[in-house]
Each structure stands twice: as structure tokens, then as C-alpha cells.
Chains A and B, each alone.
Chain A
Amino acid sequence: MSPLKFKDVPVLRFIAFIVIPLVILILAAGAPKSYITSLIVTIGMYSLLCASLNLVNGFSGMFSMGHAAFMCIGAYMTSFFTVAPNVLAAHCPGLPNFMIHTSLPYPIALILGGLAAAVVSLVIAFPVVRTKGHYLSVATLALIVIVGAVVDNEEQFTYGSRGLTGIPAQSTVWPVWIVLIVCLFIMYRLVHSAYGRGLKAMRDDPTAAQTLGINLVSKKLSIFAFSAFFAGVGGGLYAHYLTTISSAAFSFTRSFAIVEISIIGGMGSLSGSFLGAIFYTIVPSLLQNLENGMVLFGTRLPQLFGLANIIMAAFIIILIIFRRQGLMGNSEIILDTYFRKSTYTALFKKGEWAKIPRYFADIPVRISAWSASRKKLRMEKKAP
């Protein structure tokens, strides 16, 4: 009998991907605001942003780098509806009256922010989607410059580069993670619908997809807008995490970070965004100690600013040389666990729990099978 695979043990997946994270989230939400809780919030926000970027980059075959621009639009739009009216009236007198005086609940403001980003993305997508490959990447980068310039210079709307302040700090653990799971559910259904299959067909072979009756232009425009919507929501979350925003928070660097997360996790997988975000958030924070000159074997290392970034960048180069598809590749194992009924029904089936000890008993078999397959691969490479 072939050894059990991790994906065949739903109870174990349930424990690994739902129980353990849930426990961590509950502990973090109960704890006072600290470095660890802010890391967990950051992971949630980056997962959302990265998953929304993957909709375009991984599933449609376009390569957008302008996510920061949509974040920026979403962040400002959301903030206009949550910042106290007297602050807005003093700082942004140019806004229409209803925006200054309405205060909306946070979730509705987030949706409005996402919609604003989606509308702007549709306007911009018309010229941008007509280009392809690198041209599209650079055109979307150009978007960041344009949006940034508007935010910096239209002071009566945004208070310019001094930044919009007084945003309520509502992005704590629960709001961020609930928004993330809801958004991921929508994206997961989208990718696994007929629409999503058409999208993948377009990615793999545009011409063949077109002959099967898929309208490429409408697909590209719509997925661009979907992606921008979730980026806008993510930007809104980010604004309520920072509590003060200016165009500097939504620069090239932010966009590149999201692209890097998506590369680390795997562009073709929404689940990969979790891994990417966790990696991208935790590793630099560990490396930070190195940067500040830590004490190693009794000698104090010199302060080396930027070392964390250098190590991360070097890691990314090594990763794309040796594992181009990212950590997850095309696998959706985490989201399958969340959003498939089978995970939850398995908990009540006989025999499913019994698979756990078998899974662990099979580990040596699996390891030997894996090394045998590696050996075979090497032999095949040697004698083609």
C-alpha cells in the first residue's frame, strides 16, 4: 500500500491549518498590543494583498506591479469615511460635504474603498491592458508615480505629503483576519468557477482560449478590477493599521514587497500568499537583530543597516533559480482545507481519525520513496 499523503488526511490538515492558527489568533487577540500582535496583523494584510495580486499575476498571465496605487486609493477612500468629521474638515476642506460628515462602520467603509480602487482600475486598465509583458509591468509601475503625485499635490483633498492623520486604529487581529478569510473565500470561489477556468485558459494559451469563445478583453478588464477591489480593501486595512497615511506608504517599495511575497509563496496559488506573507514578515524581523549589531560569541558585531534586505533579496534570487514556481507551486491545500465541506464532514467519519497514527507511522516509508524518486531522476538526467 502506498504511504498516506498529507493531503489525504483531512483531520490532520484541519488541525494544522485551522486549529493551530486559530489558537494563535485567539492568544494574539487577547494579548495587549505588542510586537508579536502587530506581526500577526501584518501577515494578515500582506496575505490579502498578495492573494489579490495573484489573481492578476498568477491566474491571468498579465504581470502587474502597480498594486500600491490601488492600495493607496482604497486607503484614502476608506479613511475619508472613518476619520472624525472635524479633522477632515480642517485638513481636507476640498472634499464633498457628504464625505466629510458621514462616518460609516468600518466594513462598509472598506467596501467603499475597494469599490473606489476598482473603478479607478477600470479607467486605467483600458490603456494598460492593451499592452503586454514588460510593457504592462512598466505601465502599472507608472501608475504608482501618477497616483502618488496626485496624492502629494492635491492638498485640499488629501492634506498632501504631510499625511492624513487621525485614522482610527481599527485594524486589530480579528477585523483583519475576518476580512482576509471572507475575501479569500470570494477569491477561491472566483478562481474555481467557470470564470476562473476561462481565466486560466487565457493564461495558458490566449489564442486557443479565444477560439473557445472567451472574450479576452473583458476577462482582462474584469480580473484587473477584481484584483484592484481587494487591493483597495487591503489598503484600507493598512491605513487603519498605520493610522497616518501619506503617499510614501504606498511607494514602489510597497509594490515590490507584495510582488516578492507572491513570488516566494507561488504566483499560481492563493494559499501560497499565506506562506509568502509569513516568511516575508518573520524573517526580516529576525534579521533586524543582526542589523542593529548583535552580540555574537562575546564580540559586538557592527551595525549594518540594510543587511536584512540584502539577505532577503539574495534569498529570492536563489529561490527563483532553484524553485521558480515558489514554495507552493499550484497547490491550494490550505484554502481547500478551509473552504471544502469534506474537511468538516471528515471530522465525524469513522476511520479518519485513525489515519493520523498511520500517517506518522508512514514517515520512514515516505522518506525512502522520496529519496528513491530523487535517485531515479538523477539517473535519468545522467543518461538521457
Chain B
Amino acid sequence: MTLTYFLTMLISGLRLGSVYALIAVGYAMVYGILRLINFAHGDIMTLGVYFMIALMISLGLPFWATMIISVILSIAVGLIMERCAYRPLRSAAEETVLISSLAVSTILQNLMTMIWTAQRMPVKLPAWLSVANRIGPFTIKTISFVTFGVTAAALIILTIIIRKTRIGVAMRACSENRKAAMLMGININRVIMFTFAVGSALAALAGFMMSGDYGTVYPTLGFTPSLKAFCAAVIGGIGSLGGSVLGAFIIGIAEMLFAGLVPTNLTNYRDAFVFAAMIVILLFRPNGIFGKQEGGRS
């Protein structure tokens, strides 16, 4: 095995990691405020891709316009979901809301099946995105650069929002202590809606990156990646955004290296490896690597 091969794997791992990071941040934000694992997060991601395809085919809009509109539509779906399925359960036990999110996920997946059938659909991106660039010994598709760029930009913008703006401060206050934040006059509903909006937008972006790379989309596309992104968030310590981004890169790189380096009869264990890694990490650090004390140990 050569160093070049290893580095190629590392680069694919980074690309996968940045997709996971976009999803994981959405998970971590919602979890931080609502203590909810939003299983429907992955389906919002798939839905974003379907919106993009539908807009491209039916309206023939330019690429950038379809992306913007489908992100907005995904945000709308995220907000409707929050209003109908999660807000009435604000005072319920954690598990109850979890079931609600599972049901929402079922609804979204079946809606997509109903409208676009369960067949795989090709995702046609503009030609310039799938050009393979030769840089030294490596061949890297343009979409990989775009993925890195979009992820970096999104995370930087998010950091600025959370650090500097009023709504960002309110978000941090809510995830610290929701009741106290409410008593300080913060409009909780507005904060939660904003969180869902940002999460859905990031999920839709992640969906474009993922399906653009695979070239197809199908209704259950989002499920496994989003579960892995959740693992990433758990590994990083689910309250902390920085931690979940780091966890996402760890998972992405570890997954690609595992797929590339082990003997071929073991590569099918790729998904199992990721989840087993999560269980092992939870065994030693029940709150994740950067988690706060109050986390998951019983």
C-alpha cells in the first residue's frame, strides 16, 4: 500500500466527514435545546434533494436558484414538523418525543415514496461539478472542493451567529437552562423555530453534497448517514457544537480508512464498525469527548 492511496482515502474521509459535520451540527443544536434526537433530520436531508430535482426538471431553473429554493422549502418542512409534532409535546418525557420524531420520519419517507416512488432517481449536477482535477498524484472531483468550502462557510457563519447575534445568545441560554431563559424574557418558541430552521437548512445542504457525490437519491437515503452523524455528535459530546464537528470528522475519516485498509471480506462491516466504535467510546467516555458532566452516564 502506498502513501498516495492512504492520502486519497484520507481526503475521501474528510469529504465524508464534512457532510456528517453539517448533519451532526443540526442534531446537536436541536438536542442541546430540546433534548430530542430528531430522527426526521435525515429525511429533511433527502427531501431537500428531491425538491432540487423536482425544481430542476419541472421548472428548469438555473442550478443556484434551485438550491436556494429547495433550502427554503426544507426549512418550511422543518418548521411545520416542529409546530405539529414537537411543540404539543414540549412537556412530555424524552422517549415520547423520540417516538414522535420516528413517526414524523415514517411520514416523510412514505410521502417521498408516494410522490417520487421508491426507485433510485439520478441526480444530475452541472458538468463543472463532476470534473476530476489532477493535483499532484491525487484526483479530486470539484464537488469535493465545493463540499469542503460549503461546510467551512456554513460552520463559520453559524459560529458567528451563535457568538455574536441576539438570537445566538438566546440559543446558548436555552441550551444552558431552558426555564431560566424563559424567565429572562426569551421567547422560547422563536428560539426553537430558529434552531429547527438552521438545522433543516444545513441538512438540505448536506443532502446536496451527499447525493451529488453518489449520483442518486431514494427515499431512505438519509437514514443511515443521519444515524452516523448522530453517532458523531454523541462521540463529540452532544451538547457541544465544536465537539460534534470534530466527532463527524473522526467518524468520516475512520470509516473511509476502515473501508480502504482492511481486507475486502471485512469492508462490509463498515457501518457496524462505526456503531461499534460509538459504543466503545461511550463505554469509556459516557458524555462523549467534549461532553459536559450531566450527559449520558446512568
Question: Is B104 part of the contact surface with A, judged by Cβ < 8 Å?
Answer: yes
Contacts between chains A and B (CB distance < 8 A), count? 135
The reply to whether A134 and B114 form a contact with Cβ atoms under 8 Å apart is no
The reply to whether A317 and B271 form a contact with Cβ atoms under 8 Å apart is no
Known: A142-B231, A310-B106, A313-B106. A320 touches B100 (CB 8 A): yes
Measured between beta carbons, the chain A residues less than 8 angstroms from B99 are 259-260, 263, 316, 320
Known: A138-B230, A310-B107, A320-B89. A305 touches B114 (CB 8 A): yes
Known: A141-B227, A259-B99, A309-B106. A133 touches B275 (CB 8 A): no
- Pick from A139, A263, A307: contact of B114, CB under 8 Å: A307
The reply to whether B84 and A317 form a contact with Cβ atoms under 8 Å apart is yes
- Pick from B35, B85, B265, B296: contact of A131, CB under 8 Å: B296
Measured between beta carbons, the chain B residues less than 8 angstroms from A162 are none
Count contacts on A: residues with CB < 8 A to the other chain. 47
The residue of chain B having its C-beta at the shortest distance from the C-beta of A255 within the complex is B102
Question: Is B94 part of the contact surface with A, judged by Cβ < 8 Å?
Answer: yes
Measured between beta carbons, the chain A residues less than 8 angstroms from B129 are none
- Pick from A127, A260, A314: contact of B279, CB under 8 Å: A127
The reply to whether B286 and A313 form a contact with Cβ atoms under 8 Å apart is no
B71-118, CB < 8 A from A: 84-85, 88-89, 92-96, 98-100, 102-104, 106-107, 109-111, 113-114, 117-118
The reply to whether B111 and A317 form a contact with Cβ atoms under 8 Å apart is no
The reply to whether B85 and A142 form a contact with Cβ atoms under 8 Å apart is no
The reply to whether A127 and B37 form a contact with Cβ atoms under 8 Å apart is no
Instruction: Looking at the assembled complex, report how far the CB atom of A221 sits from the nearest CB atom of chain B, in whole angstroms.
Output: 12
Question: Is B298 part of the contact surface with A, judged by Cβ < 8 Å?
Answer: yes
Measured between beta carbons, the chain B residues less than 8 angstroms from A306 are 109-111, 113-114
Measured between beta carbons, the chain A residues less than 8 angstroms from B296 are 131-136
Count contacts on B: residues with CB < 8 A to the other chain. 50
Measured between beta carbons, the chain B residues less than 8 angstroms from A316 are 99-100, 103
- Known contacts A139-B279, A252-B223; 17 further A-B pairs (Cβ under 8 A): A131-B286, A132-B297, A134-B35, A135-B286, A136-B298, A145-B271, A153-B265, A216-B298, A220-B298, A263-B99, A305-B117, A305-B118, A313-B106, A314-B103, A320-B92, A320-B96, A320-B100
Q: Hey, which bits of chain A sit against chain B, CB under 8 A?
A: 57, 63, 127-139, 141-143, 145-146, 148-150, 152-153, 206, 216, 220, 252, 256, 259-260, 263, 304-307, 309-310, 312-314, 316-317, 320-321, 324
Q: Hey, which bits of chain B sit against chain A, CB under 8 A?
A: 31, 35, 37, 84-85, 88-89, 92-96, 98-100, 102-104, 106-107, 109-111, 113-114, 117-118, 223, 227, 230-231, 234, 265-266, 268-269, 271-272, 275-276, 278-280, 282-283, 286, 295-298
